[in-house]
Protein backbone atom coordinates (compact mmCIF):
# COMPACT_ATOMS: atom_id res chain seq x y z
CA UNK A 1 0.00 0.00 0.00
CA UNK A 2 1.54 3.26 -1.11
CA UNK A 3 -0.57 5.90 0.62
CA UNK A 4 -3.55 6.65 2.85
CA UNK A 5 -6.07 6.57 0.00
CA UNK A 6 -5.08 3.07 -1.13
CA UNK A 7 -4.84 1.89 2.46
CA UNK A 8 -8.35 3.02 3.29
CA UNK A 9 -9.75 1.37 0.19
CA UNK A 10 -8.17 -2.00 1.03
CA UNK A 11 -8.93 -1.89 4.75
CA UNK A 12 -11.99 -4.15 4.85
CA UNK A 13 -12.91 -7.81 5.18
CA UNK A 14 -11.40 -10.58 7.27
CA UNK A 15 -7.84 -10.26 8.58
CA UNK A 16 -5.96 -13.18 10.10
CA UNK A 17 -4.19 -12.28 13.35
CA UNK A 18 -1.06 -14.28 12.65
CA UNK A 19 0.53 -15.86 15.71
CA UNK A 20 4.28 -15.50 16.05
CA UNK A 21 5.78 -18.99 16.10
CA UNK A 22 8.61 -19.20 18.60
CA UNK A 23 11.08 -22.08 18.59
CA UNK A 24 11.83 -24.03 21.78
CA UNK A 25 15.08 -22.05 21.94
CA UNK A 26 13.09 -18.82 21.96
CA UNK A 27 13.72 -17.41 18.48
CA UNK A 28 11.14 -16.50 15.85
CA UNK A 29 10.56 -19.37 13.42
CA UNK A 30 10.34 -17.42 10.16
CA UNK A 31 9.82 -20.46 7.87
CA UNK A 32 6.83 -21.50 10.01
CA UNK A 33 5.52 -17.94 9.96
CA UNK A 34 5.66 -17.89 6.17
CA UNK A 35 3.83 -21.21 5.94
CA UNK A 36 1.02 -19.84 8.11
CA UNK A 37 0.84 -16.64 6.05
CA UNK A 38 0.67 -18.56 2.78
CA UNK A 39 -2.11 -20.77 4.14
CA UNK A 40 -4.50 -17.94 4.91
CA UNK A 41 -3.65 -15.97 1.79
CA UNK A 42 -4.29 -19.11 -0.24
CA UNK A 43 -7.70 -19.54 1.39
CA UNK A 44 -8.71 -16.02 0.41
CA UNK A 45 -8.25 -13.90 3.53
CA UNK A 46 -8.35 -10.17 2.86
CA UNK A 47 -5.45 -9.27 5.09
CA UNK A 48 -3.13 -10.03 7.98
CA UNK A 49 -2.42 -8.52 11.37
CA UNK A 50 1.18 -9.05 12.40
CA UNK A 51 2.82 -8.65 15.80
CA UNK A 52 -0.34 -7.76 17.67
CA UNK A 53 -1.35 -8.60 21.21
CA UNK A 54 -1.88 -12.26 20.30
CA UNK A 55 1.27 -12.07 18.20
CA UNK A 56 2.97 -11.53 21.58
CA UNK A 57 4.64 -8.22 20.72
CA UNK A 58 5.11 -7.20 24.41
CA UNK A 59 7.70 -9.97 24.84
CA UNK A 60 9.68 -9.07 21.71
CA UNK A 61 12.64 -6.73 21.53
CA UNK A 62 12.56 -3.71 19.24
CA UNK A 63 15.08 -5.42 16.96
CA UNK A 64 12.87 -8.52 16.72
CA UNK A 65 9.86 -6.43 15.83
CA UNK A 66 11.76 -4.63 13.09
CA UNK A 67 12.88 -8.00 11.70
CA UNK A 68 9.34 -9.36 11.93
CA UNK A 69 7.91 -6.43 9.97
CA UNK A 70 10.55 -6.68 7.24
CA UNK A 71 10.25 -10.45 6.83
CA UNK A 72 6.46 -10.41 6.65
CA UNK A 73 6.26 -7.61 4.11
CA UNK A 74 8.89 -9.30 1.95
CA UNK A 75 6.82 -12.49 2.07
CA UNK A 76 3.46 -10.89 1.37
CA UNK A 77 4.61 -8.73 -1.54
CA UNK A 78 1.45 -6.60 -1.31
CA UNK A 79 -0.86 -9.52 -2.18
CA UNK A 80 -3.09 -8.61 0.77
CA UNK A 81 -3.34 -5.64 3.12
CA UNK A 82 -1.22 -5.93 6.26
CA UNK A 83 -1.72 -4.33 9.65
CA UNK A 84 1.58 -4.06 11.53
CA UNK A 85 1.18 -3.53 15.26
CA UNK A 86 3.43 -0.65 16.28
CA UNK A 87 2.08 -0.30 19.81
CA UNK A 88 4.67 -0.03 22.56
CA UNK A 89 4.96 0.98 26.19
CA UNK A 90 7.77 3.32 25.15
CA UNK A 91 6.37 6.02 22.83
CA UNK A 92 9.79 6.38 21.18
CA UNK A 93 9.60 2.77 20.02
CA UNK A 94 5.99 3.20 18.91
CA UNK A 95 6.95 6.19 16.78
CA UNK A 96 9.87 4.36 15.17
CA UNK A 97 7.80 1.27 14.39
CA UNK A 98 4.89 3.37 13.09
CA UNK A 99 7.14 5.14 10.62
CA UNK A 100 8.76 1.87 9.57
CA UNK A 101 5.41 0.12 9.09
CA UNK A 102 4.18 2.87 6.79
CA UNK A 103 7.41 2.90 4.76
CA UNK A 104 7.10 -0.87 4.25
CA UNK A 105 3.57 -0.46 2.89
CA UNK A 106 1.75 -1.77 5.93
CA UNK A 107 -0.79 -0.04 8.15
CA UNK A 108 0.53 0.72 11.65
CA UNK A 109 -1.84 -0.30 14.44
CA UNK A 110 -1.38 1.95 17.47
CA UNK A 111 -2.80 1.76 20.99
CA UNK A 112 -2.99 4.47 23.59
CA UNK A 113 0.20 4.69 25.70
CA UNK A 114 0.35 2.13 28.52
CA UNK A 115 0.36 4.76 31.26
CA UNK A 116 -1.85 4.68 34.32
CA UNK A 117 -4.13 7.68 34.89
CA UNK A 118 -3.50 9.08 31.41
CA UNK A 119 -6.18 11.60 30.43
CA UNK A 120 -8.27 11.73 27.28
CA UNK A 121 -6.50 14.95 26.27
CA UNK A 122 -3.12 13.28 26.58
CA UNK A 123 -4.31 10.30 24.54
CA UNK A 124 -5.68 12.63 21.86
CA UNK A 125 -2.40 14.53 21.73
CA UNK A 126 -0.45 11.28 21.42
CA UNK A 127 -2.42 10.14 18.37
CA UNK A 128 -2.07 13.62 16.83
CA UNK A 129 1.70 13.23 17.10
CA UNK A 130 1.86 9.65 15.82
CA UNK A 131 -0.57 9.75 12.87
CA UNK A 132 1.59 11.96 10.58
CA UNK A 133 4.56 9.58 10.93
CA UNK A 134 3.04 6.99 8.58
CA UNK A 135 2.46 7.59 4.87
CA UNK A 136 -0.31 4.97 4.94
CA UNK A 137 -2.07 6.42 8.00
CA UNK A 138 -2.69 4.61 11.26
CA UNK A 139 -5.28 2.25 12.75
CA UNK A 140 -6.35 3.16 16.29
CA UNK A 141 -6.65 0.03 18.42
CA UNK A 142 -9.09 0.43 21.30
CA UNK A 143 -7.63 -2.33 23.47
CA UNK A 144 -9.23 -2.68 26.92
CA UNK A 145 -6.75 -5.47 27.64
CA UNK A 146 -3.98 -2.91 28.20
CA UNK A 147 -6.08 -1.34 30.96
CA UNK A 148 -7.36 1.64 28.96
CA UNK A 149 -10.73 1.73 27.22
CA UNK A 150 -11.34 4.55 24.77
CA UNK A 151 -14.88 5.90 25.02
CA UNK A 152 -17.06 6.33 21.90
CA UNK A 153 -16.83 10.09 22.43
CA UNK A 154 -13.02 10.00 22.40
CA UNK A 155 -13.00 7.72 19.35
CA UNK A 156 -15.15 10.28 17.53
CA UNK A 157 -12.52 12.92 18.26
CA UNK A 158 -9.70 10.62 17.15
CA UNK A 159 -11.55 9.95 13.89
CA UNK A 160 -11.10 13.63 12.98
CA UNK A 161 -7.29 13.45 13.17
CA UNK A 162 -5.78 13.48 9.66
CA UNK A 163 -4.14 10.14 9.01
CA UNK A 164 -6.46 8.03 11.17
CA UNK A 165 -7.96 5.61 8.64
CA UNK A 166 -9.65 3.12 10.95
CA UNK A 167 -10.50 1.89 14.43
CA UNK A 168 -10.06 -1.64 15.68
CA UNK A 169 -12.65 -1.90 18.42
CA UNK A 170 -11.88 -4.22 21.30
CA UNK A 171 -14.65 -2.95 23.58
CA UNK A 172 -17.62 -5.04 22.44
CA UNK A 173 -20.14 -3.52 24.81
CA UNK A 174 -23.32 -3.37 22.66
CA UNK A 175 -23.92 0.28 23.51
CA UNK A 176 -20.41 1.24 22.46
CA UNK A 177 -20.70 -0.78 19.24
CA UNK A 178 -24.03 0.88 18.43
CA UNK A 179 -22.66 4.37 19.01
CA UNK A 180 -19.49 3.79 17.01
CA UNK A 181 -21.25 2.11 14.09
CA UNK A 182 -23.85 4.82 13.74
CA UNK A 183 -21.60 7.82 14.28
CA UNK A 184 -18.44 6.74 12.48
CA UNK A 185 -19.57 4.31 9.78
CA UNK A 186 -18.45 5.61 6.40
CA UNK A 187 -16.11 8.15 7.94
CA UNK A 188 -13.34 5.63 8.50
CA UNK A 189 -12.95 1.86 8.59
CA UNK A 190 -14.34 -0.03 11.58
CA UNK A 191 -12.94 -3.40 12.61
CA UNK A 192 -14.18 -5.79 15.27
CA UNK A 193 -11.19 -6.95 17.30
CA UNK A 194 -12.67 -10.29 18.40
CA UNK A 195 -13.70 -13.32 16.39
CA UNK A 196 -15.31 -14.74 19.55
CA UNK A 197 -18.30 -12.43 19.08
CA UNK A 198 -18.14 -10.65 15.74
CA UNK A 199 -21.63 -11.26 14.34
CA UNK A 200 -23.17 -8.31 16.19
CA UNK A 201 -20.62 -5.64 15.15
CA UNK A 202 -20.73 -6.81 11.53
CA UNK A 203 -24.52 -6.64 11.49
CA UNK A 204 -24.25 -3.14 12.97
CA UNK A 205 -22.21 -2.01 9.96
CA UNK A 206 -18.55 -2.68 10.75
CA UNK A 207 -16.21 -3.12 7.78
CA UNK A 208 -14.32 -6.16 8.94
CA UNK A 209 -12.86 -8.34 11.68
CA UNK A 210 -9.47 -9.46 12.85
CA UNK A 211 -9.37 -13.10 13.91
CA UNK A 212 -6.85 -14.98 16.03
CA UNK A 213 -8.59 -18.33 15.98
CA UNK A 214 -8.43 -18.45 12.20
CA UNK A 215 -4.87 -19.59 12.80
CA UNK A 216 -6.37 -22.91 13.95
CA UNK A 217 -9.78 -22.83 12.23
CA UNK A 218 -9.10 -20.83 9.05
CA UNK A 219 -11.74 -22.49 6.88
CA UNK A 220 -14.56 -22.30 9.42
CA UNK A 221 -13.99 -18.70 10.49
CA UNK A 222 -13.66 -17.62 6.86
CA UNK A 223 -16.88 -19.41 5.84
CA UNK A 224 -18.73 -17.78 8.74
CA UNK A 225 -17.52 -14.31 7.77
CA UNK A 226 -18.25 -14.76 4.06
CA UNK A 227 -21.80 -15.92 4.81
CA UNK A 228 -22.41 -12.82 6.89
CA UNK A 229 -20.80 -10.66 4.22
CA UNK A 230 -23.28 -12.03 1.68
CA UNK A 231 -26.20 -11.25 3.97
CA UNK A 232 -26.82 -14.87 4.95
CA UNK A 233 -27.10 -14.30 8.69
CA UNK A 234 -28.71 -17.68 9.36
CA UNK A 235 -25.79 -19.62 7.86
CA UNK A 236 -23.29 -17.38 9.63
CA UNK A 237 -25.08 -17.99 12.93
CA UNK A 238 -25.11 -21.75 12.44
CA UNK A 239 -21.44 -21.91 11.47
CA UNK A 240 -20.42 -19.68 14.36
CA UNK A 241 -22.31 -21.93 16.75
CA UNK A 242 -20.29 -24.95 15.59
CA UNK A 243 -17.19 -23.77 17.42
CA UNK A 244 -18.78 -22.51 20.62
CA UNK A 245 -17.06 -25.24 22.67
CA UNK A 246 -13.73 -24.15 21.24
CA UNK A 247 -14.45 -20.52 22.14
CA UNK A 248 -15.28 -21.60 25.67
CA UNK A 249 -11.84 -23.15 25.99
CA UNK A 250 -10.22 -20.06 24.45
CA UNK A 251 -11.80 -17.88 27.10
CA UNK A 252 -10.73 -20.28 29.86
CA UNK A 253 -7.13 -20.90 28.82
CA UNK A 254 -6.19 -17.82 26.85
CA UNK A 255 -5.10 -16.88 23.41
CA UNK A 256 -2.63 -17.41 21.76
CA UNK A 257 -1.90 -20.45 23.93
CA UNK A 258 -4.96 -22.36 22.78
CA UNK A 259 -4.57 -21.35 19.13
CA UNK A 260 -1.03 -22.66 19.00
CA UNK A 261 -2.07 -25.94 20.62
CA UNK A 262 -4.96 -26.34 18.17
CA UNK A 263 -2.67 -25.54 15.24
CA UNK A 264 -0.37 -28.35 16.35
CA UNK A 265 -3.30 -30.78 16.34
CA UNK A 266 -3.89 -29.84 12.70
CA UNK A 267 -0.26 -30.17 11.71
CA UNK A 268 0.22 -26.40 11.47
CA UNK A 269 3.38 -24.99 13.03
CA UNK A 270 2.33 -22.27 15.44
CA UNK A 271 5.41 -22.80 17.58
CA UNK A 272 5.33 -22.23 21.30
CA UNK A 273 4.52 -19.20 23.43
CA UNK A 274 7.03 -17.02 25.23
CA UNK A 275 7.15 -16.40 28.97
CA UNK A 276 5.29 -15.23 30.94
CA UNK A 277 2.74 -17.22 28.89
CA UNK A 278 2.85 -20.99 29.29
CA UNK A 279 1.56 -23.78 27.02
CA UNK A 280 -1.86 -25.07 27.99
CA UNK A 281 -2.02 -27.85 30.58
CA UNK A 282 -2.41 -31.54 29.78
CA UNK A 283 -6.03 -31.48 30.94
CA UNK A 284 -6.75 -28.45 28.75
CA UNK A 285 -5.07 -30.16 25.80
CA UNK A 286 -7.23 -33.24 26.33
CA UNK A 287 -10.37 -31.08 26.30
CA UNK A 288 -9.15 -29.23 23.20
CA UNK A 289 -8.37 -32.49 21.40
CA UNK A 290 -11.91 -33.71 22.06
CA UNK A 291 -13.38 -30.47 20.74
CA UNK A 292 -11.18 -30.54 17.64
CA UNK A 293 -12.17 -34.13 16.87
CA UNK A 294 -15.81 -33.11 17.11
CA UNK A 295 -15.21 -30.26 14.68
CA UNK A 296 -13.32 -32.55 12.31
CA UNK A 297 -16.27 -34.96 12.26
CA UNK A 298 -18.56 -32.25 10.84
CA UNK A 299 -18.06 -31.71 7.09
CA UNK A 300 -19.24 -28.11 7.36
CA UNK A 301 -16.15 -27.02 9.32
CA UNK A 302 -13.39 -27.92 6.87
CA UNK A 303 -11.29 -29.05 9.84
CA UNK A 304 -8.87 -31.95 9.32
CA UNK A 305 -6.55 -33.21 12.05
CA UNK A 306 -3.06 -34.62 11.66
CA UNK A 307 -3.45 -36.81 14.75
Marked catalytic residue, from 45, 54, 126, 168? 168
- What is the SS3 assignment for 209? strand
Concatenate the DSSP letters of all residues of 92-126 into one string: HHHHHHHHHHHHHT-EEEEPPP--TT--HHHHHHH
Marked catalytic residue, from 54, 141, 246, 260? 141
Omega prior to 256 cis, within 30 of 0: yes
- Kindly calculate the radius of gyration of the chain based on its CA atoms and give it in whole angstroms: 18
d(CA 68, CA 50): 8
Residue 117: Cβ within 10 Å count: 6
45 an active-site residue?
no
Residues 6+ apart with CB under 8 A from 170: 141, 142, 143, 144, 145, 193, 194
Q: Residue 229: which H helix or E strand, with range? A: helix 218-229
Residue 62: Cβ within 10 Å count: 13
List the beta bridge partners of residue 139.
109, 166
**Residue 15: φ, ψ to 5°:** -115, 125
126 an active-site residue?
no
| Residues labelled catalytic | 141, 168
Amino acid sequence: MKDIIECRERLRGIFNITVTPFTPAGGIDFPALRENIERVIGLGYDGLLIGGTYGEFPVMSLAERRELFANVMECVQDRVAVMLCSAASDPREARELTEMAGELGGLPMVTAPFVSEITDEQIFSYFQEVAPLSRTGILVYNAPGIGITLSPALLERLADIPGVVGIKQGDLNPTAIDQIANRLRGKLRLFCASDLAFLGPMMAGFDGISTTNSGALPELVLATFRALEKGDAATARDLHQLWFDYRTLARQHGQPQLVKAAMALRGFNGGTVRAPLKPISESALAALTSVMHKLASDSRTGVMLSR
